[in-house]
Structure 1
Amino acid sequence: MSTPSATAPPPALSAQRQAPCVLSVLPVVGVVVLLGLPVAPDSRVTPADAASGLVVLWAVVHTARRARRPLTRTAAVVCALPVVGIAVAAAGAATGGDAITGLARHLQLFVLVPVAVMLLVRDRRGARVVLWSLVGLAVWQGAIGVHQNLTGTGALYQGAGIRAVGTFGPSDVMGMANVVSYGIVAATGLALGARGRRLGVPPPEGWGRAVAAGCALALLVPLALSFSRGAWIATAVVCGAQLLVAGVRRAAKVFAAAVAACVVLVGGFGVGAAAVQERLTSITQVADAPDQSVVDRYALWAAAAGMWRENPVTGVGLKAFPAHRDGHASLALSSGSDTEGAGQAFRRQPLLSPHNMYLLLLSEQGLLGLLTVAGGWLALLVCAVRRLRRGGRCGQGGRGGRARDCALAACGLLLWQLVNFLYADIGGPSTVLTAVCFGLAAWWALAGDEPTAPAAGGATAAPAADEVTAPAAESGRR
């Protein structure tokens, strides 16, 4: 009679192992789900923001109950780097209110929520649950956006209500574009990295990969209808990188399928064809014949650079860009952007940021902020890519091979955010998803191995085949 394999635990034991890993990430999924609800245009704190605070509290309780050091030394250094620049910039804020609100917002997005997500995502199963929740949110917002375009109930674009904005409204036109882009990147990673039954989703075996690929292709339509040039560029760069990592032959096949889908949906059915073509053409005319939005962006970038030149080390202080903008911007800068449609009346929205996260860091936090905050992101990217490459060499039997879908998705989300920051910055209800994506990337880049637990009879139990845990200490001493 054969004995059970040590590496294949019984189904009951496997389910017992999976339950805590999935339950621990449910608060993170709750934040993602809440972003599917409509948001008032003037609301400063959204339900998702409040839920992110509960995620941080739950991570503290969860870590205390596990009674072990939560972060490796490398993870602690990388996660603590942004605190230095943010704290110094808060000390230089113009008012106490700006210092408190700016400090809280920056710590929420770049430190607290990412660390909480990293601690709550205990292994690949938890990561896949969060990734699929991002895909689900993207499908929901994308479906609403396509309906807005077809019925003319979206935000105004060239005098018609055809711009897809989802539930975020015209005051946050980038919200749906960001969410859909996250969904495309996550679905592409899940589709390219999944191997058979390891996808970890409810449908029958082998369906998960096809579902992820189908979602990625379908989400290209609402992304196109968002008319967001920055999101288009970032998504194209990241998905191209994911495809090349997965293999040149596979990249060619997926690229052909994506082109065919776009031709059928946009060309065949005429889904926003003229407006999309005009928007694509405008990308190549940003130097020769820029539209007013590009002119405003150039003026804001120049203003941010001027602020940095006056305060090169520590910047002008958190939330101080609007107060210094007019003293550094050229006369070409307009008074604001006009927003209307999707159930909201006409309003002129002031331009309160440079629409470039790196220039926002330079202007408000100086070189110190750029080196600590953006330097932490670069360290995350380096660690994530190094681990992805090591996993690729391990092959299917190694730890990285089994988590290739999570690796491609997490690295892709981080890279997308860093590319998109060239054309955008923080702001709006969807910004909390930035923190979730940083947390997923930190989990993949900085995760360590759990020490194996002793099994019955004194033997050491092998870790589950699907397990990559949150960061552990380098040694057992505390």
Structure 2
Amino acid sequence: MSHALALPPLPRRAAALVPALPLVAVPVLLALPPTGDGAGPADVVSALVVGYCVLRLLRERRRPLSPVAAVVLGLPVVGIALAAMGAASPAAGFGGLCRYLQVFVLVPAAVLVLLRHRADFRVLAWSFVGLALWQGAVGVHQYLTGTGASYQGETVRAVGTFGAQDVMGMATAVSLGVVCAAGIALGRGPVRQRAVAAGCAVVLVLPLALSFSRGAWIATALTCTAQLALTGLRRALKAVAAVAAATVVLVGGFGVGTAMLQERVDSIAAVADAPDQSVVDRYTLWAAATGMWRAHPLTGVGLKGFPEYRDGYATLALSSGSDIEGAGETYHRQALLSPHSMYLLVLSEQGLVGLLTLGGSWLALLVCAVRGLLRVRRRGPGLDCGLVACGLLLWQLTDFVYGDIGGPSTVLTGLALGLVAWWALFRDEPAGDVAGRDGVPARVAEDVTR
């Protein structure tokens, strides 16, 4: 009777991809509109994934991470814990502690535990591309119909489902999708897969442009340039020509958009000579964060402490807030509660201890990831995975110069760091795992602790 009711075993290919499915649920839920203040569905699912990993490890009675992985991913805990103890209130300290641990420790560790081989890695990378395509499509529709966030008096800024409250959400999702698609396209996978990935990267240029996010433009351009440089001059020139042609075709036909984009691009070079108010606000916030660090050099002012100390260190050049309107939001002013630089946010709230521990973890990941990429650049397997991993980390490190964590899209940072950690700390598969045409190994890779 039990044999008659038993379900047939999953095909080998499908069974190999099962570990990645809980992680794919996070980008899928980020495609939904935000539910308001507090943790969104994607954050809740990421917490459930971490809990699932803990239960699974307890049941299997095995070590979750290798010693090197534990040190690299656990290093930020030191600075975060010290800053949490120095927070202005227990609620602020606990809230900041949970957020930082989620993004920089727990979610990356969960990705490292769940992913077993390159096929899983590619599934999660393609989920980034899928989210970018969806958010980009919504953003382009917002621009064409004038239902986006307000920009220069017109509701044309593409923000996707993230809304005007998180104007950087769509830009982040689309940028990470471009990086993943570019890495896959530049790899050695099947021709059809690389062609589809290249097409996705080109198509995503339009919504990225319509996000009007200078920071996302700079980070994406630098990252894709680095990815291209690592694959050879000839391929780099072909890709640059394709992207340039796509930019002319996709962006050049939108009259108002072209003028706005040109003005936005020109403003990048004018940030020192004739900065607009947003740039003045950012410089003022950076100066305030630096002042906080000078007054509290070792452990900072405590987690979530920047808003409370801001007015004491900021000059009168700081405006009262940024204008929020459009994409379903009525006009209101949003207070500037962070320095819009992850490095300065960590320095002001966690001090030198926090910056060195968090930055040390990122530097270790970068060194290990680049070394792994150089090993497989000529003939080794997994070139696409290496390009994606190094690209994601380089994009994040560049974006952190003028951006920080916050909003529903923040959980993507944790997933991206998890992909980087997998490649940097657990990329090598056993010799017996020979990948077939589709890149799926013949058997599941050995445990992460072996």
Aligned equivalent of 1:463: 433
- Asked if residue 441 in structure 1 is aligned to residue 417 in structure 2, the reply is no
The one-letter code matched in structure 2 to 1:33 is V
Aligned equivalent of 1:73: 67
- Asked if residue 148 in structure 1 is aligned to residue 148 in structure 2, the reply is no
Q: 1:90 aligns with which of 76, 81, 84?
A: 84
The one-letter code matched in structure 1 to 2:215 is G
Partners of 1:19 and 1:114 in 2: how far apart? 24
Partners of 1:63 and 1:76 in 2: how far apart? 15
1:302 CA drift (Å): 0.1
TM-score by length of 1: 0.88
Aligned partners of 1:322 and 1:353 also within 8 Å: yes
Aligned equivalent of 2:408: 429
Structure 2 SS opposite 1:429: coil
1:67 CA drift (Å): 4.2
The one-letter code matched in structure 1 to 2:20 is V
Cα deviation digits, residues 313-355 of structure 1 (max 9, x gap): 1000000000000000010000100110011111111000000
TM-score by length of 2: 0.94
Aligned equivalent of 2:390: 411
The one-letter code matched in structure 2 to 1:101 is G
Q: 2:291 aligns with which of 306, 311, 314?
A: 306
- Asked if residue 188 in structure 1 is aligned to residue 182 in structure 2, the reply is yes
Aligned partners of 2:33 and 2:162 also within 8 Å: yes
Cα deviation digits, residues 138-182 of structure 1 (max 9, x gap): 000000000000111100101111100000111100000000001
Aligned partners of 2:433 and 2:445 also within 8 Å: no
- Asked if residue 250 in structure 1 is aligned to residue 235 in structure 2, the reply is yes
The one-letter code matched in structure 1 to 2:167 is V
Aligned equivalent of 1:201: none
Structure 2 SS opposite 1:162: strand
Structure 1 SS opposite 2:235: helix
Structure 2 SS opposite 1:276: helix
Aligned equivalent of 2:301: 316
- For structure 1, which runs of at least 5 residues remain unmatched after alignment? 1-11, 197-205, 396-400, 453-461
1:448 CA drift (Å): 5.8
Aligned equivalent of 2:339: 354
Aligned equivalent of 1:472: 448
Partners of 1:271 and 1:330 in 2: how far apart? 36
Superposed counterparts of 1:17-32, under 5 Å: 18-32=13-27
Q: Which moved more, 1:261-270 or 1:224-233?
A: 261-270
Aligned partners of 1:142 and 1:219 also within 8 Å: yes
Aligned partners of 2:116 and 2:448 also within 8 Å: no
Distance change (3 Å), C-alpha of 1:334 and 1:415: same
Aligned equivalent of 2:93: 99
1:473 CA drift (Å): 3.0
Distance change (3 Å), C-alpha of 1:293 and 1:469: farther
- Asked if residue 171 in structure 1 is aligned to residue 161 in structure 2, the reply is no
The one-letter code matched in structure 2 to 1:425 is D
Aligned equivalent of 2:266: 281
Q: Which moved more, 1:413-422 or 1:258-267?
A: 258-267
Partners of 2:60 and 2:372 in 1: how far apart? 26
Q: Percent identity?
A: 62
Distance change (3 Å), C-alpha of 1:173 and 1:448: closer
Once superposed, what is the RMSD of the aligned Cα atoms?
Answer: 1.8
Partners of 1:328 and 1:269 in 2: how far apart? 43
Structure 2 SS opposite 1:37: coil
Superposed counterparts of 1:195-206, under 5 Å: 195-196=189-190, 206=191
Aligned equivalent of 1:294: 279
Q: 1:124 aligns with which of 118, 122, 127?
A: 118
Partners of 2:209 and 2:151 in 1: how far apart? 13
Aligned equivalent of 2:370: 385
Partners of 1:364 and 1:259 in 2: how far apart? 41
Aligned partners of 1:141 and 1:179 also within 8 Å: yes
Aligned partners of 1:29 and 1:130 also within 8 Å: yes
Aligned partners of 1:448 and 1:469 also within 8 Å: no
Aligned equivalent of 1:33: 28
1:375 CA drift (Å): 1.2
The one-letter code matched in structure 2 to 1:420 is D
Partners of 1:226 and 1:414 in 2: how far apart? 21
Aligned equivalent of 2:330: 345
- For structure 2, which runs of at least 5 residues remain unmatched after alignment? 1-7
1:118 CA drift (Å): 1.1
Partners of 2:26 and 2:118 in 1: how far apart? 19
Distance change (3 Å), C-alpha of 1:210 and 1:388: same
Structure 2 SS opposite 1:25: helix
Aligned equivalent of 2:3: none
Partners of 2:10 and 2:387 in 1: how far apart? 25
Aligned partners of 1:311 and 1:366 also within 8 Å: yes
Superposed counterparts of 1:318-333, under 5 Å: 318-333=303-318
Cα deviation digits, residues 274-294 of structure 1 (max 9, x gap): 110000000000000000000
Cα deviation digits, residues 415-437 of structure 1 (max 9, x gap): 10010000100001100000000
Structure 2 SS opposite 1:287: coil
Aligned partners of 2:267 and 2:275 also within 8 Å: yes
Aligned equivalent of 1:221: 206
Q: Which moved more, 1:87-96 or 1:401-410?
A: 401-410
